[in-house]
Each structure stands twice: as C-alpha cells, then as structure tokens.
Chain A
C-alpha cells in the first residue's frame, strides 16, 4: 500500500535516502539543506544507522567515504559554501571509485551569497569542481516527489557505477511542501563485491571493478594516488595514468544512455523549452496555459552525464529556450550539441521564472 504525505522537499530527500538503505550520514549544518541532516539525526540512530555531525564539510565528505569502504550506503547534504569545501574529497571519491551520495540544495552564490534563496549556480561545479579529469552523475529534482525518488535512485547509481552521485536540488524544491506518494519500498540494487582472486581495481567490460569492502579479508590498498590494478601507487607511469583516468571518465560517459532520465513533451514543436530542477515548474505552467502542440518541452533529470541524444528527439526544433537559475550553465552545454539557436533565460536572485516571463520570450520570436 502506498501512502500519501504532505512533505517538504528536504524531508522527502531524507526519507528517500532511508528507504534506499542509507545507514551513514556525515554532515555539517548549512542553509538551506539543514533539514536533511536534522531528519537523519532523528531517524538514523533508531534504525541502527549512524549520524555524525563533523567539524566541517571537508570532514563530512571524508567521513562518508570512510563509511562507504565498510560497505555502508553513505551520504551528506550541503549547499554552495560547503560544496566548495567538499571538492577535495569528491576528487578522492572519483579517483578511488567510492560510492557515495552528495546532496546540494543550491543557494545563491558566489561565496556566502544568498543563504535562503534558490539558485542553480553549482551545475558546472558538480561536474568539474575538483581538479583533474573525471566524470560523475548528477540528478536534478523538480518536485517533492522527485526529491524522494531521485535520492533513492542516487544510491543505486553510486553503487552500480562506483562514483559520487550528486542530487543537485535547489532551495525552492528543498523547502517547498507538496503532496507526495510514498511507495511501499524502493528498488535496492546491491553493490557488486569483489570476487576472490581478482585484483581490486581490475575492471571488466563495464569498466567497473568489484568493490573490496573493508573487513572482508581483501586486504585492499586504497589511495588517491594514481594506482595500478592492485591498488598500489604508480604515479609516474604515463600509460597507466592515461588508461586509469580514461576508464574513470568512460565508465560514466559510455553509460549515458542507461543513465539518461528525461521526459519529452510535444516532440514535433518548433519552439522547445529545456529545463531541470525548479524552473521545470514554470515551464509546466506555460504548457498548461497554452494547450496544443506548438511548444515542446524536455525535462532533464539526469543532467550529468548530459543526455545529448535527447535533443535529437525534437526534429523540427528551430530554437531551444533554457530557463535556469544561473547565467546559462547548461544552455552552454546544449549549444555544444545542436545547430539551432539556444536562448539562455537566466534568472538570479532567488525567484522562480514567472510563466508570463517565459511566454513573453516566446512571443518575441526568433
């Protein structure tokens, strides 16, 4: 039996994590994500899990990586300033292929910026923020329902691909309250354990090695240094480094069809909106107000790796319109993949685009 609740987005995120079997939360208070930590602090100990408030976000990220190596499904939640501090160990998680979930309830930046106001300014940071080449998965919820579902999904993806998975929410989705339907259970795909006799960083055809959980006798060495398939440091071998980093990127980028999560409305339209996160709601209102098939809409839930092939679904598109709570971070990504004009519709300051603002852009025409 499903049940219906009236929840805040951040509550739905925490409940989605608990449903997915998260047993470790390491965090640091920061607006507008704090409700997630508070909810986990209340619920996790009663379920036999661990909540720990660390001394900063650097330590939060470190703690969830440490917990993950014992086999735990682990997560943290933060916002812009904390996310910046996490970058160091996000790179460590990418290099050591540590599954973990990082929630960023985005607020206005740069710096301390607007703690209580929504934004989407960290979309490029989550993809490229730590030094060196790597690839990650980022999911963007646009409703309380999606906060729950995508958080639960993030744990499966983290375990499957052995990468940090980002839930790139925003203050608007995190703090809004709406109806949510809670399923009986969520799908839990267990992490693939390393087989005995196989080297701990030797990958098969899917480019993802089995996981050598601490305490199971694998005697694995885990290092952020460039390492060989045994996990041993090997930091000056040119080909080895090239091949390792290429695998870290390819294991995610090659899977972008499997990872893709988007929905297409009116694929024959000439004017097409593309949105993710809170601005999805404004576009939905525009479509609601203008029934018919003249406006197309692509909602993207998996923003990284970017589902470039989804753009080809709009064969008649003459223009893509991209409302974002930033100065066109994903619009620029879309521009790389299409030959028609891409119009960025930025809005900063914390307010959502009004439907009439989007309609006005449509009416101005090409």
Chain B
C-alpha cells in the first residue's frame, strides 16, 4: 500500500484552499501510518473542529470528527475502551491550544498512547482569519487588526513540560523530516506530539506580506532553527534569534504511559 490507499476517494476533492499546507501534512502522516503496516480496521483518526480537523473525513478508516477542542478527550475514551485500536489525532493551533488547552496538557500528563499531529497555521482559518494562541506578536488577523499584542504559546515546550513521551516540530517544507517524525511518534508508546508549522495563504499569508504561497513556505524554511544548532548557540552562550523557531526531535523518553497493551 501507499499513502494514497488510505484516502476516502469518494469524498475528494477536499475543502482546503489552493496553496494550503494541510494536504502536505496529511500525506506525510498517512505515509508514516502506511509504513507501520497497520490495518485500516484497527486504525482510528480523531479530530476536533477547524481546517485541520477535516482531515479524518478524507481517510478510509473509522473516524471521529468531534467538537471544538475536545478531540483528545474523545480519543482518550476510544483508546482506553479498546487498546487494540491505533488512534491518531489531527488538530490545529486554535483547536489544541485555545479551547482544547486543558485537554492537551492532561493528555500529555497521562502520557496516553496517542499520536497527535498539530497543523499550526498560526491563525483560525475556517472562521476567516482570527488570531490564535500561536499568532506571532505584531502579526495581523481580523481580531488583531493593529498587530497581535499577546505573546504566543510554544506548543512543543508545553507538551514536553506536561509529560509527553515524544515531541518534534517540522514544517510543511520539511516533508521527509515530518514523515519520519510522525513515524517515530507512531512507534513510541505513550503520548506523541508532532507540530507541523504550515502556511495559510487565505487567512494568514495575505494579511502578513506573503504575497505568494511559496513566500510563506520559504519563510518557514528560513526561520527554522535546527535543534542541534539551537543547542550549539546555547552552549556558546549566544542569543537565539527571536523570530526563529526550533525544529527537530525535541523529546524522546520513556515515562510511564497509559493505554499501552501489556
């Protein structure tokens, strides 16, 4: 099989805008799932609300498209009630970090055996471009018309602090790295969190001086700071540029986990 065999073909075409990065992230995720050799009937995709959360509707497995922010709580019920099921969660920055923030930290604390792929486009895309908890300072959105005045969350730091076993961050540019990271997450028992920074030309890019889709992808690439380089800068006592974000495998450990078959 290939990643294409996992699609619900009678549901295509999808609703994502031209230039959206979500399709790239779904492909990377499904390519990793495919490599696990899992059967479709033992795999469940769960999501909340938002652009990212439409993903399970395009995948030919049992899939649960739930309420805003609650995907991890639903997924916890699915996993704990049937530990034979492989449960993968698609979410976004608004879904996970705003309305679902409490469920996020508690799922990390429980270290429940789920793999969570967060499509972080730094904006509420589906509702037309409102500021989210990851919208960078000074960026424009319909609810931050004078520039975002609130400092953003670092979702990976949050997941690490709350106890997730596996944490990594890549972008929609780094497709090979992203696929490998999702695969590592799927292989790691306990809670795995993969943040995929992605472009949203419709709601974010056009308000923030990314005239072309590729301009935003180039920005994500150029502002990615490899973890090894970040560590080196840190050791040398040098400052980490404030507009850069760290990419790479940020945590891999073996805390006690829930929902893992004995």
Known: A72-B81, A214-B78, A217-B41. A59 touches B61 (CB 8 A): no
Known: A220-B62, A221-B56, A232-B57. A66 touches B77 (CB 8 A): yes
Q: Complex Cα distance A71/B144, Å?
A: 45
Q: B76 touching A219 by the CB < 8 A rule?
A: no
Closest to A64 in B: B77
Min CB–CB distance B56 → chain A (angstroms): 7
Q: Does A222 contact B (CB under 8 A)?
A: yes
For chain B, residues 60 to 91, give those with C-beta under 8 angstroms from any C-beta of chain A.
Answer: 60-67, 70, 73-82, 84-85
Q: A224 touching B65 by the CB < 8 A rule?
A: yes
* Residues in A whose Cβ lies below 8 Å from that of B82: 70-72, 214-215
* Residues in A whose Cβ lies below 8 Å from that of B81: 23-24, 50, 66-68, 70-72, 74
Min CB–CB distance A221 → chain B (angstroms): 5
Q: A88 touching B80 by the CB < 8 A rule?
A: no
Q: Complex Cα distance A68/B78, Å?
A: 8
For chain A, residues 36 to 90, give those with C-beta under 8 angstroms from any C-beta of chain B.
Answer: 50, 52, 54-56, 58-60, 62-72, 74, 88-89
Min CB–CB distance B72 → chain A (angstroms): 8
* B-contact bits for A211-243, CB 8 A (1 contact / 0 none): 010111111111111000000110000000000
Q: Does B40 contact A (CB under 8 A)?
A: yes
* Residues in A whose Cβ lies below 8 Å from that of B61: 219
Min CB–CB distance B96 → chain A (angstroms): 14
Interface residues of B, count at CB 8 A:
33
Q: A215 touching B85 by the CB < 8 A rule?
A: yes
Interface residues of A, count at CB 8 A:
41
Q: Complex Cα distance A55/B65, Å?
A: 21
Q: B57 touching A62 by the CB < 8 A rule?
A: no
For chain B, residues 101 to 119, give those with C-beta under 8 angstroms from any C-beta of chain A.
Answer: 102-103, 106
* Residues in B whose Cβ lies below 8 Å from that of A273: none
Cross-chain contact of B64 among A52, A217, A222 (Cβ < 8 A): A222
Q: Does A296 contact B (CB under 8 A)?
A: no
Q: Does A99 contact B (CB under 8 A)?
A: no
Q: B41 touching A59 by the CB < 8 A rule?
A: no
Known: A69-B64, A89-B70, A223-B57. A24 touches B76 (CB 8 A): no
Q: A215 touching B62 by the CB < 8 A rule?
A: yes
Q: Does A26 contact B (CB under 8 A)?
A: yes
Q: Does A161 contact B (CB under 8 A)?
A: no
Q: Complex Cα distance A38/B179, Å?
A: 43
Min CB–CB distance B192 → chain A (angstroms): 18
Cross-chain contact of B65 among A56, A215, A225 (Cβ < 8 A): A225
Cross-chain contact of A59 among B46, B60, B79, B106 (Cβ < 8 A): B106
Q: A219 touching B73 by the CB < 8 A rule?
A: no
Q: B60 touching A219 by the CB < 8 A rule?
A: yes
Q: B74 touching A62 by the CB < 8 A rule?
A: yes
Q: Complex Cα distance A220/B61, Å?
A: 7
Q: Complex Cα distance A74/B64, Å?
A: 17
Q: Does B42 contact A (CB under 8 A)?
A: yes
Closest to A217 in B: B41
* Residues in B whose Cβ lies below 8 Å from that of A74: 77, 81
* Residues in A whose Cβ lies below 8 Å from that of B66: 62, 65, 89, 92, 224
Q: List 6 A-B contacts (CB under 8 A).
A: A70-B81, A71-B82, A215-B44, A215-B84, A221-B57, A222-B63
Give residues in A with beta carbon < 8 Å to B: 23-24, 26, 50, 52, 54-56, 58-60, 62-72, 74, 88-89, 92, 212, 214-225, 232-233
